[in-house]
Structure 1
Amino acid sequence: MKPFSQSLAFLANENGRHALLGMQRGIERETLRIDADSHLASDEHPKALGSALTHSRITTDYSESLLEFITPVYNKIPELLADLTKTHAYTVRNLNGQYLWPVSMPCFVNDVGSIPIAQYGTSNIGKMKTLYRKGLTARYGAQMQVISGVHFNFSVSQELWELLYSQSDKALSLDDFISDSYFGLIRNYRRNMWVLPYLFGASPALCGSFLDGLDVDLPFQKTGKGTLYLPYATSLRMSDLGYTNKEQDTLGVSYNSLPDYLDGMKKAIKMKSQKFADIGVKVNGEYRQLNDNILQIENEFYSPIRPKRVANENEKPSEALARSGVQYVEVRALDNNPFNPVGISASQVRFLDLFLLHCLLSPSKKNSQKENQEITSNLNSVILEGRKPGLTLKRENNPLLLQEWLTDLFKELSAIASIIDDDSCTEYQTSLDLWYEAVLNPDKTLSGRMLNQFVGPNIDHGRWAMELANHYQAFLKEYVLSETDLADYQQQTDNSLAALSEIEANSTQSFDGFLNDYFDDVISK
């Protein structure tokens, strides 16, 4: 691929600007339902929000208490965030006095065993989704499964692909060029993904109850009555306390090309785990997990970014990619932003736009094992001590101050912003300027701002978060929903319940037979 400066110069005109502005985005935001005492809600998913299995905007993740709000795909950032805000506003009107927890690390959990696993009804697909979560509980414990975050889905316009393809050697078809370029983006994202927890990491602290029963060797400090924190940490959600799977360390799934990735995933979903076999699959007639492989299903594979394509009915993620290539990427390294009522701000979205475009337009050599180790080391350093003065990372095996690396990156992001912005609107450069303040002063990162809110006053993280929950509850209840909005959400609720009834009525196969058919490609070859 051409050098970054050359690619950018090619796009520095009205055609290039228009093509860049064609970006498409979607957001999936997770948040816990809690009661007025900051405890995890233990009741079932509210009926007024429809079926979690079939609703297009409101579902659940691991737990009945862990809501997930999904936006459609939007080209305009204000429309994207307005949609997300409306879904939040409709939801809080139907929570019967409960609140939305505004931070990624969970609230106080009295009894880990009482965390309610998400239920999706009596259909085979619904029972499979619940059993998958039951398996996650047996494998990793429930605590890490109720950590929440934000996923950001991103794609660029067909117009931009055609422009970039016109400058390529055309050794690949356009479709293959697109997939290959998205994997180049993914490799560059992984090289630089430490930037996101540095700026946007918002889990430097947690409730001490979260560590009950866990073997943790981190030098935590304490504030308030029971809040534990690391003074320079950015995102404990992305540390070993979060959703990680040591068994997956042996998989070695490659991002060097779509065929390499698909081959790696094919092997991964067939690989056995003695540790998980010891749990048992079906014991005394009761299922404990879907299977005893390292991955029960592909979604169990943890990655801070995923290549994606919208799947057809009953199609697995890798089957969709194999069918038609990469359609978009899903960024999964974002904590909930506690300073925003919907967990992510417009300035963050604009930064992500620039960051991902930079990953796409920069040359992206294939990853080596040595580089993968460097990527992991850099990320872990920033997660646990990203705001430490003088922190040094490695870039191509050469030591470099984190602040110097960020300064270099922001200069190149600014060059992209100068093409996208025009005289009447400088929103991208304004967003960059805002986040560059956090480069110059780590206290202005989200994690730095958080710690300054409760460590200095010596109050608990949970008390601080509950005050935010109350504030956002009031804001969202007052947020204006038109009669059309309310009717639309009610219709979506009704449609989801009708769809659930139809799926359950047509689910006549035995569950054993359903699982055998679903995993036929895994167990038969």
Structure 2
Amino acid sequence: MRLQALDKDSLFLPYATSLRMSDMGYSNHAQSSLNICYNTLEEYVDSLSSAIRTPYPPYEAIGLKQDGKYLQLNTNLLQIENEYYSTIRPKRIARSGEKPVTALRNEGVEYVEVRCLDINPFEPMGLSEQDAHFLDVFLVYCSLQNSNPIHADECDEVSNNFKTAVTEGRRPGVELRQQGQPVLLQSWGLQLLDDMSPIAEILDQANESSTFVESLCAQREKLKDAALTPSAQVLNALEAGDSGYLELMMSLSEKHSKRFSEHDLSDERIAYFEQLAQRSVADQLATENNDSRDFDTFLQEYQAAE
């Protein structure tokens, strides 16, 4: 995978959709050896817990401390559970000092965190209302599908498909693998959208709207014309203008900032946020005043907790 020069400061891949989710982004060599299982909550928690306790020689070579200061929390495959950069994660809000895996094991899944989505720089909120509606359809569709166990070979196939999509997803004729057989990304995507159509129609009926079906239509158009995807729009904007990537992002950020600054918050809303800020400061002071443990002790107790 050889990057190409975009401008004097930036490199890119011509058909990539999300380099952030590639090996050059959140993924790394250490985590590529992990086999985090999603078949059951118990297996997921156990595999994450194992990764936190499995030594990793390159991290051991770095060492835990230098001159009495921590270089890392441990020398294992994962420092903490949240360091695992998966595309989607089952989550639960943990209590203070409680491990995420402990909260999941004891109380179950509270929400699902979809991590493989990039912020759309052209949207003031980073996500359009239409895209949010599509996510609703997609997640409901996923929750209603048969959940057969995923074996190692299929897990590798899914992982390789994802790598292809993020690095070459807009390449014409790009192929994925479906149960060992080649399949066009475009054809498979369109079939999945067709399968989601009944879900979108039901959601529209329930909400007396047409927005959910329209959100599927928008995704169909992107599959048919890759130039409509956000990644292609970023490249098109750069090619059409005289500025580089950093300048484009700064320009869009300033545009969005100006848009939000033109809408004043109500006095009631301002008072609410001020109360939250005061409460946060008070809670922090209370925590600091009541905590007599040094960091070494805290870390040992935290890592030993189940």
The equivalent residue for 1:135 is none
User: Higher mean Cα deviation, 336-345 or 451-460?
Assistant: 451-460
Contact kept in structure 1, 2:99 and 2:305, CA below 8 Å: no
C-alpha displacement at 1:482, in angstroms? 0.6
- Percent of aligned positions with the same letter in both sequences? 39
Contact kept in structure 2, 1:232 and 1:388, CA below 8 Å: yes
The equivalent residue for 2:236 is 452
C-alpha displacement at 1:431, in angstroms? 1.6
Pick from 276, 279, 282 the counterpart of residue 492 of structure 1: 276
The CA deviation string for residues 397-441 of structure 1, in whole angstroms up to 9 with x for no partner, is: 111111111111111111111111129411111222222211111
Gaps of 5+ in 1: 1-216
The equivalent residue for 1:24 is none
C-alpha displacement at 1:393, in angstroms? 1.0
Q: Does 1:239 align with 2:42?
A: no
| Superposition pairs of residues 240-255 of structure 1, within 5 angstroms | 240-255=23-38
The equivalent residue for 1:507 is 291
Tell me the distance in 1 between the aligned counterparts of 2:53 and 2:167. 33
Q: Given the superposition, is the C-alpha separation of residues 447 and 410 from structure 1 closer, same or farther in structure 2, using an over 3 Å criterion?
A: same
Tell me the distance in 1 between the aligned counterparts of 2:168 and 2:48. 32
Tell me the distance in 2 between the aligned counterparts of 1:304 and 1:293. 21
The CA deviation string for residues 96-141 of structure 1, in whole angstroms up to 9 with x for no partner, is: xxxxxxxxxxxxxxxxxxxxxxxxxxxxxxxxxxxxxxxxxxxxxx
Please state whether the residue corresponding to 2:6 is helix, strand or coil.
strand
Q: Does 1:415 align with 2:198?
A: yes
Pick from 321, 344, 348 the counterpart of residue 104 of structure 2: 321
Q: Given the superposition, is the C-alpha separation of residues 251 and 465 from structure 1 closer, same or farther in structure 2, using an over 3 Å criterion?
A: closer
Gaps of 5+ in 2: none
The equivalent residue for 1:300 is 83
Tell me the distance in 1 between the aligned counterparts of 2:271 and 2:44. 43
| Superposition pairs of residues 283-298 of structure 1, within 5 angstroms | 283-298=66-81
TM-score (norm 1): 0.56
Please state whether the residue corresponding to 1:306 is helix, strand or coil.
strand
Please state whether the residue corresponding to 2:115 is helix, strand or coil.
strand
The CA deviation string for residues 462-485 of structure 1, in whole angstroms up to 9 with x for no partner, is: 121121112111111112311111
| Superposition pairs of residues 74-473 of structure 1, within 5 angstroms | 218-223=2-7, 225-422=8-205, 424-457=208-241, 459-473=243-257
When the two structures are aligned, how many residues end up with a matched partner? 305
C-alpha displacement at 1:328, in angstroms? 2.0
C-alpha displacement at 1:521, in angstroms? 4.4
The CA deviation string for residues 43-89 of structure 1, in whole angstroms up to 9 with x for no partner, is: xxxxxxxxxxxxxxxxxxxxxxxxxxxxxxxxxxxxxxxxxxxxxxx
Please state whether the residue corresponding to 2:150 is helix, strand or coil.
coil
2:259 is matched by which residue type in structure 1?
F
C-alpha displacement at 1:458, in angstroms? 5.2
- Choose between structure 1 and 2: higher helix proportion: 2
Please state whether the residue corresponding to 1:278 is helix, strand or coil.
helix
Tell me the distance in 2 between the aligned counterparts of 1:456 and 1:421. 38
The equivalent residue for 1:204 is none
TM-score (norm 2): 0.94
Spell out structure 1 runs of 4+ moving beyond 3 A.
Answer: 456-459
Tell me the distance in 2 between the aligned counterparts of 1:489 and 1:426. 35
Tell me the distance in 2 between the aligned counterparts of 1:219 and 1:288. 31
1:459 is matched by which residue type in structure 2?
S
